[in-house]
């Protein structure tokens, strides 16, 4: 299935609109194609996000089917998001053209808890680096990211009650933390 500027990311339920927007940005980063998003029915070369009615697709299991258009379906938002990563990983380039191979993938994680701990209290990382870690967690389908923000070596979490706790200069502002959470 070739991707072009006329391809769209469509969704069946308004709850999937934020994921459609995220997927559009990610596809643009990979292909430089700005795909429009909308709540409608899919046409040829579109990407369709939907909640499944298939009783065998439960929990975090997801199905990605690519023929004349790509369908990503699952029972819940998080599982559809994992399916969108599977689709991103399948995008290939031939010259200036981008395509997704015809395929049917039914997948689910092997472990319910998939997490990563970053100890920023002992080893400071910039907010930009932490944003890259968040993106990598998405691409590796890691669901939980824990930031170890305070320890006897450092207190990196912003405090309005005790601002002197962050005395070493390796701390984050409240605006940085809110931006990272978004």
Lowest average pLDDT, out of 57-61, 118-122, 165-169, 172-176, goes to 165-169
**Per-residue pLDDT, 58:** 93
Percent of the chain past pLDDT 90, that is, above it, reads 82
Q: Is the pLDDT of residue 148 over 70?
A: yes
Q: Is the pLDDT of residue 167 over 80?
A: no
Residues 9 and 34: their CA atoms lie apart, in Å, by 10
List the one residue out of 49, 50, 1 whose CA is nearest residue 23: 49
Residues 20 and 23: their CA atoms lie apart, in Å, by 5
> 3-state DSSP call for residue 78?
helix
Please indicate whether residue 60 or residue 161 has the higher confidence score (pLDDT).
60
Region 155-171 average pLDDT = 79
């Amino acid at each position: 299935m070739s991707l072009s500027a006329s391809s769209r990311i469509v969704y069946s339920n308004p709850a999937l609109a934020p994921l459609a927007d995220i997927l559009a940005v990610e596809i643009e980063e990979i292909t430089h194609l700005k795909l429009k998003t909308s709540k409608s029915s899919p046409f040829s070369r579109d990407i369709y996000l939907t909640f499944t009615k298939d009783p065998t697709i439960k929990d975090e299991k997801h199905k990605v089917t690519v023929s004349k258009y790509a369908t990503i379906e699952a029972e819940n938002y998080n599982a559809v998001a994992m399916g969108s990563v599977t689709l991103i990983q399948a995008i290939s380039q031939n010259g200036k053209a981008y395509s997704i191979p015809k395929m049917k993938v039914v997948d689910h994680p092997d472990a319910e808890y998939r997490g990563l701990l970053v100890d920023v209290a002992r080893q400071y990382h910039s907010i930009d680096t932490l944003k890259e870690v968040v993106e990598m967690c998405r691409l590796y389908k890691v669901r939980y990211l824990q930031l170890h923000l305070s320890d006897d070596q450092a207190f990196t979490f912003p405090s309005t009650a005790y601002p002197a706790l962050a005395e070493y200069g390796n701390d984050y502002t409240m605006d940085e933390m809110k931006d990272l959470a978004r």
